[in-house]
Amino acid sequence: MADLSITGGTIADGTGAAPFVGDVVVSGDLITTIRRAAEGPPIDASRTIDATDLVVAPGFIDVHSHSDAVPFVEPWMDSMLRQGVTTMVVGNCGSSAIPPAGAEEVAELSGVSLDDLGVRWDGVEEYLARVDQARPACNVATLVGHGAVRLQVMGDARRPPTATELDAMRALVEDAVAGGAVGMSTGLVYPPGMHAETDEIVELARAAGRAGGLYASHIRGEGEQVFDAVAEAIEIGRRAELPSHISHLKVESSFAWGRSRELLDAIDQARANGADVSADQYPYTAWETTLSVCLPPWTSPQELPDALADPPTRERIATSVEHGEPGWQSSVRGIGWDRLFVGSHAPDPSVSGRSLAAVAAGRGTDPVQVLFDLLTADPFTGLIGHGMLEEDVRTIVARSDVMVGTDGLGVSPDGPLGRYAVHPRYYGTFPRILALYVREERLLSLEAAIRKMTSLPAERFGLHGRGRIAEGALADLVVFDAERIADTATYERPHAFAEGVQAVIVNGRIAWNGRRSERAGRALRRGR
């Protein structure tokens, strides 16, 4: 007798092929039988899910997550699980739980201290083993963050590495990918990654490639510098001889609005010339990060109080914040203070959800001063920037070769990380695509959308045995109502679960079936 039979569903197998009605049978953690309707009598199973009038798809793969510490804090990962995510790739934007210097950073970015996690690890193999022990609800794969590697070897130095330091970083990257990481990531708008030159990244990416990984980048600029920044990411992949991947592809600010098709054409031309480059996207017109991204690269929130005490330095910082500097993109320029909203701010939650312009007006001061005040009070203050246009989001969504990432955390409304979820993408990314862009606007067929959420990322990130409904594949599955699936989270009400997801199966176990059932996620190792 099989363990689980999902009967009568419309099976979209993840390959992009036309869906068909049939049964999916699971034994242990594997799909053992796929049978089209009327091909024979039902197969006996210990548990049965009637999927009549529902879609059965591979579990969704979130290729851009920041849930590195979440397995140890909120292992149910509710906001992800309940939108159909069964696997997430963490370690993005240059920030990862490995090596040890990165662990402290990802813990802080999740709002807890490293001691609060109650676990420690030295390298990727220990980290992945700790994830397994935590039994998260979703599978977790990781990149090794260039920023974390740089912190481990160079601290917060704002200079190129010495030959000895470069060798040490190269060894850390190669060891991490050989130990199971799926590649290396960079965050080139954040310290310390912003201080790295292209040649440094090429050398470290080459080490990741030798071990079989890819290179994923939060590029140096997504507004007026986006074309040069994308070109750099492609160049790094070409010179280092490994696949490159552009994180959360977008065109932001008035300098780039309306140029999404031009950017996609540039990527296509690079591919035609031999580049191995891919991208992911979240389907929203606002980004979320920390307020510190507004500071120029030669200062930090920790240095800010002393810097502000010197009037010429304060004026220089304020000018840079609003207008940028050569080689560095201002987060304000081309967007405006009225489109920049405070995210989480622990000392005074009342400012959360308000624009910096509105907070400044209420305080009778200017927005730059508000930025300084908020960062001085809480260096991890969040920021939401309504920096994109819907027409550009739609243009990128319509591409069947652009994968999907939440750029968020797996959280619960009342969980310890709940206050950090101030963007609807934490809860609604995948259902939003299926509801708005597939069902309502018909930018994509259902099977094309599911492929970009499943088999395409599984192949790109080396997640073998996942992303497809096939006999012998691992049984990560989602059952949903294509007519009802929808995102309900908004910027004003971000903690709202998606609708229409009926069941989520992870490694053959029912994790969600209208209620929490069983945590069966695993740590995934590249190529295994």
Q: Which residues, including other chains, have CB under 8 Å from residue 477's CB and lie 6 or more apart?
A: 6, 24, 26, 56, 57, 58, 59, 86, 469, 503, 504, 505
- pLDDT at residue 261, as a whole number: 98
Give yes or no for a contact between 381 and 375, defined as CB atoms under 8 angstroms apart. Answer: yes
Number of neighbouring beta carbons within 10 Å of residue 358: 17
Residue 211 banded pLDDT, cuts 50, 70, 90: very high
> Is 3.30.465.10 the CATH number for 59-284+387-420+431-451?
no
Residue 480 banded pLDDT, cuts 50, 70, 90: very high
- pLDDT at residue 528, as a whole number: 75
Break the chain into its structural domains and give their ranges.
Answer: 59-284+387-420+431-451, 290-385
Residue 120 in this model has a pLDDT that exceeds 90: no
- CA distances 149 to 69, 84, 98, 188, 201, Å, are 17, 32, 8, 14, 11
The rounded mean pLDDT for the chain is 95
Number of neighbouring beta carbons within 10 Å of residue 258: 12
Neighbouring C-alpha atoms within 13 Å toward the C-beta of 473: 26
- pLDDT at residue 527, as a whole number: 79
How large is the C-alpha radius of gyration of the chain?
22
Indicate the range of 22-31, 45-54, 415-424, 460-469 predicted with least confidence: 415-424
Number of neighbouring beta carbons within 10 Å of residue 437: 18
Q: Which residues, including other chains, have CB under 8 Å from residue 163's CB and lie 6 or more apart?
A: none
Number of neighbouring beta carbons within 10 Å of residue 16: 17
Average pLDDT of span 68-89: 96
Q: What tens digit of pLDDT does each residue of 485-514 get? A: 999 999 999 999 999 999 999 999 999 999
Q: What tens digit of pLDDT does each residue of 265-293 get? A: 999 999 999 999 999 999 999 999 999 99
Give yes or no for a contact between 191 and 469, defined as CB atoms under 8 angstroms apart. Answer: no
Strand partners, 499: 486
| C-beta pairs of 10-13 under 8 Å, 24+ apart in sequence | 10/51, 10/53, 10/54, 10/55, 10/56, 10/482, 11/55, 11/56, 11/57, 11/469, 12/55, 12/56, 12/57, 12/446, 12/447, 12/450, 12/469, 13/57, 13/58, 13/468, 13/469, 13/470
Question: What is the layout of strands, in order, in the sheet containing 244-246?
Answer: 144-145, 183-187, 214-218, 244-246, 277-281, 402-404
- CA distances 242 to 145, 154, 206, Å, are 16, 25, 7
Q: What tens digit of pLDDT does each residue of 183-197 get? A: 999 999 999 999 999
- pLDDT at residue 244, as a whole number: 98
- pLDDT at residue 451, as a whole number: 98
- Reading the block at residue 491, the tokens are 């910027």
| C-beta pairs of 319-328 under 8 Å, 24+ apart in sequence | 320/295, 320/296, 321/294, 321/295, 321/296, 321/368, 321/371, 322/368, 325/296, 325/297, 328/194, 328/296, 328/297
Give yes or no for a contact between 7 and 50, defined as CB atoms under 8 angstroms apart. Answer: yes
- pLDDT at residue 38, as a whole number: 72
Give yes or no for a contact between 129 and 523, defined as CB atoms under 8 angstroms apart. Answer: yes
- pLDDT at residue 414, as a whole number: 86
DSSP reduced 3-state for 90:
strand
Give the separation between CA 428 and CA 497, rounded to whole angstroms: 7
Indicate the range of 108-112, 285-289, 294-298, 510-514 predicted with least confidence: 108-112
Residue appearing with tokens 């963490």: 90
Give the separation between CA 16 and CA 22, rounded to whole angstroms: 17
Residue 257 in this model has a pLDDT that exceeds 80: yes
Average pLDDT of span 46-58: 97
Strand partners, 50: 7
Phi, psi of 369 (to 5 degrees): -65, -40
Residue 519 in this model has a pLDDT that exceeds 90: yes
Give yes or no for a contact between 182 and 89, defined as CB atoms under 8 angstroms apart. Answer: yes
pTM equals 0.96
Amino acid found at 248: H
Phi, psi of 412 (to 5 degrees): -125, 150
- Which residue, among 24, 150, 128, 111, has the nearest Cα to 71 in the 3D structure? 128
Give yes or no for a contact between 467 and 455, defined as CB atoms under 8 angstroms apart. Answer: yes
Strand partners, 278: 245
Q: What tens digit of pLDDT does each residue of 356-375 get? A: 999 999 999 999 999 999 99
Q: What tens digit of pLDDT does each residue of 316-329 get? A: 999 999 999 988 98
Q: What tens digit of pLDDT does each residue of 143-182 get? A: 999 999 999 999 999 999 999 999 999 999 999 999 999 9
Cα angle for residues 197, 173, 379 (degrees, 5° grid)? 65
- pLDDT at residue 138, as a whole number: 98
Average pLDDT of span 98-115: 83
Share of the chain above pLDDT 90, in %: 91
